[in-house]
Amino acid sequence: MREKPTMSPSETTPLLLVHVAPQRHRYPHNKLRRAFTFTLGLLLVTALVLFLFPSALLPREGGSLWSYLPWAHPYPESWPNGHGLDYEELQTLLLGTPSAAREREWSKYYTAAPHLAGKNLSQALWTKERWEEFGITDTKIVSYDVYLNYPVDHRLALLEGNKVTFEASLEEDVLEEDSTSGLPDRVPTFHGYSASGNVTAPFVYVNFGTYADFEDLVNANVSLAGKVAIAKYGRIFRGLKVKRAQELGAVGVILYDDPQQDGEFTEENGYKPYPEGPARQPSAVQRGSTQFLSFAPGDPTTPGWPSKPGSDRQDPHDFIPSIPSIPVSYTEVLPLLKALNGHGPKASDFNEWWQGGGLGYKGVQYNIGPSPDDVTINLYNEQEYVTTPIWNVIGVIPGSLPDVVILGNHRDAWIAGGAGDPNSGSAVLNDVIRSFGEALKAGWKPLRTIVFASWDGEEYGLLGSTEWVEDNLPWLSKSNVAYLNVDVSASGTLLRPTASPLLNKLIYEVTGLVQSPNQTVKGQTVRDVWDGHIGTMGSGSDFTAFQDFAGIPSYDLGFTRGRQDPVYHYHSNYDSFDWMQRFGDPQWLYHEASSKIWALAAAKLAETPVLFFNATDYGLGLEEYVDRIRPTAENLPSNMSFDFGPLYDAITKFQRAAIEFDAHGADLTSQLDEDLPWYLWWKKVRLFYLIHEVNSKYKNIERQFLYQPGLDGRNWFKHVVFAPGLWTGYAGTTYPSLVESLEAGDVANAEKWRSIIIERVDAATRLLR
């Protein structure tokens, strides 16, 4: 964490004006005196300006009082060429320093031993030491006390009457070719935040366990009450599957990865499984959190405030399950699914969402069940719940301005490995920092402050980042211009960014500067190979608190699995160094490209005098998002209707203001290049002041979309444009509470939300005018 500035521009400006103004009003009838006072005031201000101006010429440290005065705004005289490196030199350095070999070496370190949240302090200390070595002298460990669970014991068995017909091992195979798959202290298969319990009950197959899947079951009169639900992973966040099952009376949940989700590379299609081939290792088990992520991330006992020793805590069960759940491999779910053959309706008789399943060739007919009363599952799950420290590592490169650009990646993994999730990002973050360290050694000092974060506890529910944002909210609201997240930097070859539209321009710019690891066409950049699609922000990584709680424009960026890539063993023991070396990124070049993209994005944001944002893109996004949700209103009953017109009108006004505002910013940027004779120094001072104003507006656009009472039914989420889908979790939804009201057929509430959104859009428009 960075020290908070003692004084901000907005605080100092009124103070100085007050000095002059009251005197002017004291003798309203005496013209002479008024003139005298006015002249005196003018002289005083001039004297001040003259006093300040020379000081503006001097190089100064970020923290000095003068640097906070608007007219002495410290875009240094020496800038842009006097900060040790000019921008071109900095860019060359950031493109030249990252090294696949080093990233491989650091990946090897992080993925050598377990590093579950709160369990591996030495990795935090090691990370801190590396960053200090690279030259980030201000590096700290920032710890929070969070509520979470560790696995103790589990069992999954199939019974006929009292007879055990199948006993699951709940273990992943130890592979000779995969050195961490056989560690004696490897992490058992379990779910974060799952409840302890021991249930024996008949069971039901619930497809992907989406809200709609459960609705289909309700409509087909298949009861979940008292049953164990078996669901495939995929389509939505796993915790929401458990949540809905629990609401419908299920007593336990079993989740597994069906090869249906693996595309072309399946054993059924003749591909060999890992470690020989690109198909899924049949014993792989996906761990993961069952928190109700779309309702609130972070420590579920402290929603909205930081988890420190002695913090108030509440019952967590609004945000985590009360029924037990466990993950299994597709091999071990086979006997359970086969036991349903011939019982109840078939998935294939249901709608399109129920079609398909990758285990048909193994004899699974995908009957829904329920199983006969005497065919039951015994699901036993024992979790130890503790309140325990987790450790974020926070490093700071102080800039000349108090504004901050933050780069973050989580360090904790479900397993010893985590070569993709998250340590492909951790290795790359280290190399980004090393690159900036090289720039520091060359005498560079950034214009804006850069903060690096290695989060702990992300996997359970974005704990480290959420608690840190909750802890530092006033400072972040004032100073944080953007948050750049990389979770999995490389698990395939497909670039799939999600971002606030303010950052679209940045992503297009920097991906166009980095060579693609795919040189099928020589010289092609990452931008050339990418389809150019930027998604909206949902959840599932550490940007969530920044974007949705604090209103800080954020992106999440990395190379994920494309259609032509080997199966990625997400959250399983085989997301390992050996898998990465053989299949994921054998040359480590997607790692290297990621570090260059990240470093350049940070540099652009930190160094460009007029922030590298585009408000027009936000305006275009706002309109596109309304287009996207319109069909929801078409599904309303025929006696109801909803008018999007007023919302479009507000957005049109925002767009006009944004176009003008971006043009104004571009104009100021071009004025920076003008060579002025020395006696026109005041023009430069004025320009600095105008740029400062534009930047503080750019910085605050995203904040305008926050609505402090929060979204319906989940008031931790404050952003009226972006949120994770209530029942999807990972995927983003736009205008969340509005769209949810329309889906529920509650037009009155939809109209209330339309007003709230219009009010927020209008506030953003006023800000830009």
Ligand X SMILES: *[C@@H]1O[C@H](CO)[C@@H](O)[C@H](O)[C@H]1NC(C)=O
Structural contact between residues 493 and 565, judged by C-beta atoms closer than 8 angstroms:
yes
In the complex, least distance from residue 27 CB atom to ligand X, rounded to whole angstroms: 49
Q: Which of 471, 746 has the CB closer to ligand X?
A: 746
Select the binding partner of residue 422 from Zn ion, ligand X, none (C-beta < 5 to 8 A, by kind): Zn ion
**According to the binding rule CB under 5 A, does residue 487 interact with Zn ion?**
yes
Residue for token digits 């203001």? 657
Nearest residue (CB) to ligand X, 107 versus 595: 107
The residue from 53, 87, 109, 150 that contacts ligand X (CB under 6 A) is 109
> Angle at which helices 736-743 and 747-768 pack, to 10 degrees?
160
Q: In b/e form, how buried is each residue of 392-405, taking b as 16+ CB within 10 angstroms? A: bbbbbbbbbbbbbb
DSSP notation for 460-512:
HHSHHHHHHHHHTHHHHHHHEEEEEE-S-SBSSSEE--EE-GGGHHHHHHHHT
Q: Is the sign of the CA dihedral 158, 160, 165, 167 positive or negative?
A: positive
What number of residues does the chain have? Answer: 769
Count interface residues toward ligand X (CB under 6 A): 31
Residue 558 interface partner, choices Zn ion, ligand X, none, CB cut-off 5-8 Å depending on type: none
When the beta carbons of 185 and 675 are compared against ligand X, the nearer one is: 185
Are the C-beta atoms of 374 and 142 separated by less than 8 Å?
no
- Residue 238 interacts with ligand X (CB under 6 A)? no
Of ligand X, Zn ion, none, which one sits near residue 487, judging by CB under 5 to 8 A according to partner kind? Zn ion
In the complex with ligand X, which residue's Cβ is closer, 288 or 665?
A: 665
- The DSSP symbol for 744 reads T
Q: How far is the CB of 446 from ligand X (least distance, A)?
A: 22
Tell me how far CA of residue 608 lies from CA of 604, 676, 700, in angstroms.
6, 20, 17
Under rule CB under 6 A, residue 748 binds ligand X: no
Contact string 515-534 vs ligand X (x = CB under 6 A): ---x-xx--x----x-----
Q: Which of 122, 162, 635, 670 binds ligand X (CB under 6 A)?
A: 122
Cis, bond preceding 370 (omega within 30 deg of 0): yes
d(CA 509, CA 87): 15
- Asked if 200 interacts with ligand X (CB under 6 A), we say yes
359/258 Cα distance (integer angstroms): 7
Cα(450)–Cα(464) distance, integer angstroms: 19
Give the shortest CB-663-to-ligand X separation in angstroms: 7
**Contact with Zn ion (CB under 5 A) among 213, 332, 421, 740:** 421
Look at residue 538 and give the partner it binds from ligand X, Zn ion, none, a contact being a CB closer than 5 to 8 Å depending on partner kind: none
Q: Is 658 exposed, middle or buried (0-12, 13-18, 19+ CB in 10 A)?
A: buried
- Say which of 103, 458, 459, 740 is annotated catalytic: 458
Report residue 88 CA to chain centroid gap: 30
Q: Which is nearer to ligand X, 23 or 608 (CB)?
A: 608
Which of 668, 491, 667, 506 shows the shortest CA–CA distance to 584?
491
Identify the residue among 310, 637, 677, 709 touching ligand X (CB under 6 A). 637
- Look up 458 and say whether it is catalytic: yes
Cα 698 from Cα 298, distance rounded (Å):
28
Nearer to ligand X, 529 or 758 (CB): 529
**Rule CB under 5 A: is residue 431 a binding residue for Zn ion?**
no
Q: How far apart are CA 149 and CA 600, in angstroms?
A: 38
Contact partner, 467, from Zn ion, ligand X, none, Cβ < 5-8 Å per class: none
> Is 666 near ligand X (CB under 6 A)?
yes
Position among 422, 538, 551, 724 found at the interface with Zn ion (CB under 5 A): 422
Is 39 a binding residue for ligand X by CB under 6 A? The answer is no
In angstroms, give the least distance from the CB of 542 to Zn ion. Answer: 8
What would the x/- binding string for ligand X be over residues 145 to 184, using CB under 6 A? ----------------------------------------
Residues 705 and 554: their CA atoms lie apart, in Å, by 14
Nearest residue (CB) to Zn ion, 426 versus 480: 426
Q: Contact at 8 Å (CB) between 302 and 312? A: yes
Per CB under 6 A, which of residues 418..447 are in contact with ligand X?
A: none
Please tell me whether residue 616 binds ligand X under the rule CB under 6 A.
Answer: yes
CA gap 255, 229 in Å, rounded: 8
In the set 614, 655, 733, 737, which binds ligand X (CB under 6 A)? 614
Q: Is 114 in the site for ligand X (CB under 6 A)?
A: yes
Smallest distance, Å, CB 22 to ligand X? Answer: 42
CB half-sphere exposure, 76, CA atoms < 13 A: 21
Choose, by CB under 6 A, the member of 30, 355, 564, 755 that binds ligand X: 564
- By C-alpha distance, which of 328, 466, 488, 484 is closest to 417? 488
306 binds Zn ion (CB under 5 A): no
Only segment of 172-180, 422-430, 447-455, 517-525 that touches Zn ion (CB under 5 A):
422-430
Buried b (16+ CB within 10 A) or exposed e, 740-769: bbbbeebbebbeebbebbbebbebbbebbe
User: Under the rule (CB under 6 A), what is the footprint of ligand X?
Assistant: 109-110, 112-115, 120, 122-123, 198, 200, 220-221, 380, 493, 505, 518, 520-521, 524, 529, 564, 614, 616-617, 637, 639-640, 662, 665-666
Q: Could you give the residue numbers annotated as active site?
A: 458
User: Under the rule (CB under 5 A), what is the footprint of Zn ion?
Assistant: 421-422, 487
